[in-house]
Amino acid sequence: MTEKALRLGTRRSKLAMAQSGQVADAVSQVTGRPVELVEITTYGDVSREQLAQIGGTGVFVAALREALLRGEVDFAVHSLKDLPTAAHEGLVVAAVPEREDPRDVVVARDARKLTDLPRGARIGTGAPRRMAQLNAYARTHGMEIETVPIRGNVDTRIGYVRSGELDAVVLAAAGLNRVGRIDEVTDFLSVDTVLPAPGQGALAIECAADNAELIAALAELDDPFTRVAVTAERSLLAALEAGCSAPVGALADLPPLSAPLERGDSQADGQTVKEMRLRGVVGTTDGSTLVQLSTTGPVPQTHDAALALGRELATEMLAQGAAGLMGERAQ
């Protein structure tokens, strides 16, 4: 073991430690160097206020970025959905590994699914995006629910259900998977019901822009489809001028299997031409209004094309009144 260890800056939370640990192993494999975790406390970790109140995007990210820029750590792992859409001077996202399950899930008492929660069920979620879509679903399916703002780590959130304080909580599948609690899910929500946050389920590995050697090594961990998908989703978010606490959902994935065949453009060389579907939603947190649009086309072949796709869908959403729905974002 002659090579010096790479330093991975990480938050202290169970989720952050889990995903940093997993990335550390992968980075160690591609670089042949040991990776050492360096714990960094962020404002988001210490504040007890509602995330939306302590201000906009990136509260969890700022301290890690400062440590990167000061050269105290070599790279950091972020949940992409918590990463501000604007590029940060002096830093690059060197890899976006393959995304895992992007869906939101329900953890409910008595193994209940969303559709069989009791009348008036109290569902915990602090995310305006989840509130908007859950309330919209309830309205159109004759359900009566109450969304209750909560925050805290996975243990805290599931604790509200175990203690009987809430009937259910809604969380990201990816987070539960990473902390080994996916077995507690009682309902995996279709993305047709609740579209995930832009970037949900994906990680970003960030390092200093001048660290060419590390950037080249980390590139091996990049998954091109995930990278293009989250680029389009985040471009949509940025074009709506919304942040991570806005009621905006977006997901780029493979379209349903029948779609390319219907258009008769699919069977070149016996291979299905790869298409991507980008979906976006924005709504009022009470679920009374949702603007929901999607577009399907060839997988964008460049970063700029992915950005353009997101912008175009956002423009259509704005034309349908999306901006007016985000006015109440401070929830």
Ligand X SMILES: NCc1[nH]cc(CCC(=O)O)c1CC(=O)O
Q: Of 7, 33, 103, 130, which residue is the catalytic one?
A: 130
Angle at which helix 303-319 crosses helix 224-239, to 10 degrees, equals 40
Among the candidate windows 22-30, 169-177, 248-256, 261-269, which touches ligand X by CB under 6 A? 169-177
Active site residue 11: no
The identity of residue 277, as a single letter, is R
Angle at 200 between CA 157 and CA 302, to 5 degrees: 170
Q: Which two tokens stand for residue 206?
A: 């960030």
Minimum Å gap between C-beta 127 and ligand X is 7
Looking at residues 237 to 276 of the shown chain, list those that interact with ligand X (rule: CB under 6 A): none
Residue 233 lies near ligand X (rule: CB under 6 A): no
3-state helix vs strand vs coil in the chain, percent to 5: 40, 20, 40
Residue 172 lies near ligand X (rule: CB under 6 A): yes
Residue 171 lies near ligand X (rule: CB under 6 A): yes
Q: Which two tokens stand for residue 251?
A: 């997901």
Signed CA dihedral, 263, 98, 153, 91: sign only: negative
Looking at residues 81 to 120 of the shown chain, list those that interact with ligand X (rule: CB under 6 A): 81-82
Q: Of 157, 178, 234, 279, which residue is the catalytic one?
A: 157
Active site residue 183: no
Is-contact 229 242, C-beta < 8 A?
no
* Among the listed residues 200, 226, 284, 331, the single contact to ligand X using CB under 6 A: 200
Q: Which residue is nearest to ligand X (CB)?
A: 175
Minimum Å gap between C-beta 36 and ligand X is 23
C-alpha to C-alpha distance for 157 and 279, rounded to whole angstroms: 28
Q: Which is nearer to ligand X, 21 or 118 (CB)?
A: 21
Write the DSSP string, 217-252. HHGGG--HHHHHHHHHHHHHHHHTT--TTSSEEEEE
Cα–Cα nearest to 277, from 316, 258, 251, 303: 251
Active site residue 82: yes
Active site residue 329: no
Q: Which is nearer to ligand X, 173 or 218 (CB)?
A: 173
Is-contact 233 278, C-beta < 8 A?
yes
Is-contact 96 204, C-beta < 8 A?
yes
Residue 331 lies near ligand X (rule: CB under 6 A): no
* Among the listed residues 97, 124, 128, 201, the single contact to ligand X using CB under 6 A: 201
Residue 203's alpha-carbon distances to 5, 97, 132, 171, 175, in angstroms, are 22, 6, 25, 16, 11
Q: How many residues bind ligand X (CB under 6 A)?
A: 9
Residue 125 lies near ligand X (rule: CB under 6 A): no
Fill in the per-residue mask, 56 to 85: x = in contact with ligand X (CB under 6 A), - = not in contact: -----------------------x-xx---
306 φ/ψ angles, rounded to the nearest 5 degrees: -65, -40
Q: Which is nearer to ligand X, 172 or 326 (CB)?
A: 172
Active site residue 14: no
Q: Within a 10 A sphere around the Cβ of 209, how many other Cβ atoms?
A: 16
Q: Which is nearer to ligand X, 35 or 96 (CB)?
A: 96
294 φ/ψ angles, rounded to the nearest 5 degrees: -145, 160
Q: Of 7, 65, 207, 244, which residue is the catalytic one?
A: 244
Q: Of 74, 82, 104, 187, which residue is the catalytic one?
A: 82
* Among the listed residues 58, 124, 175, 287, the single contact to ligand X using CB under 6 A: 175
Active site residue 157: yes
Minimum Å gap between C-beta 19 and ligand X is 7
Q: Which two tokens stand for residue 136?
A: 């919209």
- Annotated catalytic residues are 81-82, 129-130, 151, 157, 244
The contact set with ligand X (CB under 6 A) reads 79, 81-82, 171-172, 174-175, 200-201
